[in-house]
Amino acid sequence: MGTQTKPAQFGVVGMGVMGASLALNIADHGFRVAVWDRHPENITKVQQQNPKQALAGFPELEAFVAGLERPRRVLLMITAGAPVDQMMERLFPLLSPGDVIMDAGNSWYLDTRRREALCKEKGFHFLGIGVSGGEEGARNGPSIMPGGPKDAYALVQPVLEAIAARSEEGLCVTHVGPEGAGHFVKMVHNGIEYADMQLLAETYDVLRRGLGLETAQLGDLFSKWNEGIAESFLLETTIKVMRKRDPETGKPLLDLVLDKAGQKGTGKWTVQVALDLGVPVPSIASALDARNLSAHKDERVAASKKLHGPTVSLSSEEQKELAQWAHDALYAARVVTYAQGMRLIQAASDEYKWGVSLAEMARIWRGGCIIRAKLLTPLREAFQQQPTLPNLLVSEAFAPVLEKLAPSWRKFLGTATKAGIPVPVFSSSLAYMDSYRSPELPQNLTQAQRDAFGAHTYQRRDKPDAGFVHSDWLK
């Protein structure tokens, strides 16, 4: 199966869609690539489908590793979790000190930390690399988020830079930080992706049920939006989805898709980590809940017969303005969603001392990845101008925009709520913004309650030096 005479400069393990696409992308850029898969027929398939790219395929792992120039650079694109550990165990006896293992799957960042430490002990380098952009991105230019030791990154940098997407703001790859920083950032990317997708789903729902727009009409409306500030890859994808017709029935294919959302787990991880770090990410959590609730289709159908909502009846102002309110709300809520994700990355970077640059993350997300969007440009500028910005919402670039769009957002939510159409991410995002901008929150009552029933103590505003005190509330 091997077709190259000189040793390969890069090895890819895992010839699934993503691994094969990355291997072909690397070969396109003039690197000699060796590939391996536990099912040799997958190697043959990729080679036969791509006769022009000289991928050297090895059915035996030993021969694959022996066919790599040193230091060996082996990228794993396999199922995250135990398979990565098993693969590493198989590779260890075949590798030499100084070789680099890269895990490019959606791995849990603490696994990445552990694997890096293990490799270090054995004299190998380890990089945990977030890769975004799906099959198309992997093949033609993904956004790449590598984490791990900088000297290891230097050994693979030319290859990663050659294959990464390019935007007007440069190459969509940079060294994110040490340890699991790359996988952490990729995980948060996916969390933002969940929220952004759900915002689009809610917009679609309110407009179809509120205004009675057909799927194709919505595609046309979204297409106009995509020419302005709301431009994004996910909006563009949504338009394509809305315009696709089912070849069998001629109906919009979207109308035939069952409304039960799946997930692979990165959104859930984002929310779990956010809880651990004490960082509120309600937009992402609501998007996750929306997927979870959607999965209970049978219960929902049964409940719809018992719990009746209001009849959708819009005023003439609502009919006229709803689409514009939706547009403004979508942009503003999206800003809030990205703000939460960025805040979470900052918190992890502080906790683990990773030194992640939020401006750089926004820059490498500008092309290739699923959440690439026009708003990432002002977002990057905001963090560039003020790297210690506590939250994007208070940046000079976004605070005035949010203030300007908030009235439309409130009207959009009001209309949806009055009509009984669920808008969980739009509402939780607005509640986040309203809470964040509130100098006074009702948690004085929470503290008093805690102290009343559990003697958990509280602080007095009028005696800041008194520390935590207790009162006998119930007598």
Given the complex with ligand 6PG, which of 11 and 137 has the nearer CB atom?
137
Q: How many CB atoms lie within 10 A of CB 175?
A: 22
Given the complex with ligand 6PG, which of 132 and 408 has the nearer CB atom?
132
Q: Is 467 annotated as a binding residue?
A: no
The minimum distance between CB 371 and ligand 6PG, in angstroms, equals: 8
Given the complex with ligand 6PG, which of 32 and 183 has the nearer CB atom?
183
**Which residue has the closest beta carbon to ligand 6PG?**
132
The minimum distance between CB 190 and ligand 6PG, in angstroms, equals: 5
Which sequence positions are flagged as catalytic? 186, 193
The minimum distance between CB 46 and ligand 6PG, in angstroms, equals: 20
The minimum distance between CB 108 and ligand 6PG, in angstroms, equals: 13
Please, which residues have CB within 8 angstroms of residue 171's CB and are 6 or more apart in sequence?
A: 161, 164, 165, 364
Given the complex with ligand 6PG, which of 59 and 265 has the nearer CB atom?
265
Phi (first) and psi of residue 100, to 5 degrees? -115, 125
Given the complex with ligand 6PG, which of 131 and 322 has the nearer CB atom?
131
List residues bridging with 459 in a β-sheet. Answer: 468
The minimum distance between CB 139 and ligand 6PG, in angstroms, equals: 12
| ∠ CA 402-408-409, rounded to 5° | 70
Length reported for the chain? 475
What are the C-alpha distances in Å from 390 to residues 42, 340, 345, 378, 383? Answer: 48, 11, 12, 16, 10
The minimum distance between CB 361 and ligand 6PG, in angstroms, equals: 13
The minimum distance between CB 98 and ligand 6PG, in angstroms, equals: 30
Question: If you ran DSSP here, which 8-state letter would residue 71 be given?
Answer: S
Q: Is 226 annotated as a binding residue?
A: no
Tell me the C-alpha distance between 427 and 414, whole Å.
Answer: 10
Given the complex with ligand 6PG, which of 232 and 266 has the nearer CB atom?
266
Is residue 95 classed as helix, strand or coil in its secondary structure? coil
Please, which residues have CB within 8 angstroms of residue 182's CB and are 6 or more apart in sequence?
A: 112, 127, 128, 129, 130, 145, 146, 147, 148, 176
Q: Among 94, 240, 119, which residue's Cα sits nearest to residue 180?
A: 119
Q: Is 470 annotated as a binding residue?
A: no
Q: Among 148, 6, 168, which residue's Cα sits nearest to residue 160?
A: 148
* Cα-Cα end-to-end distance for the chain: 84
Q: Is 435 annotated as a binding residue?
A: no
The minimum distance between CB 132 and ligand 6PG, in angstroms, equals: 3
Q: Is 450 annotated as a binding residue?
A: yes
Residues that bind ligand 6PG (CB under 6 A): 106, 132-134, 190, 193, 262-264, 266-267, 369-370
Phi (first) and psi of residue 31, to 5 degrees? -90, 145
Q: Among 89, 120, 88, which residue's Cα sits nearest to residue 105?
A: 88
Q: Is 368 annotated as a binding residue?
A: no
Angle at which helices 399-419 and 316-352 cross, to 10° = 120
Given the complex with ligand 6PG, which of 21 and 47 has the nearer CB atom?
21
Given the complex with ligand 6PG, which of 132 and 349 has the nearer CB atom?
132
Please, which residues have CB within 8 angstroms of residue 362's CB and are 6 or more apart in sequence?
A: 342, 376, 377, 379, 380, 383
> Which helix H or strand E contains 468, and what residues bound it?
strand 468-469
What are the C-alpha distances in Å from 382 to residues 192, 350, 373? Answer: 18, 19, 15
Tell me the C-alpha distance between 157 and 125, whole Å.
Answer: 14
Q: Is 291 annotated as a binding residue?
A: yes
| ∠ CA 376-172-161, rounded to 5° | 170
Helix H segments across 128-172?
134-140, 150-163
Tell me the C-alpha distance between 180 and 350, whole Å.
Answer: 13
Helix H segments across 353-370?
358-364
Please report, in range form, the residues annotated as the binding site for substrate: 106, 132-134, 189-190, 194, 264, 291, 450, 456
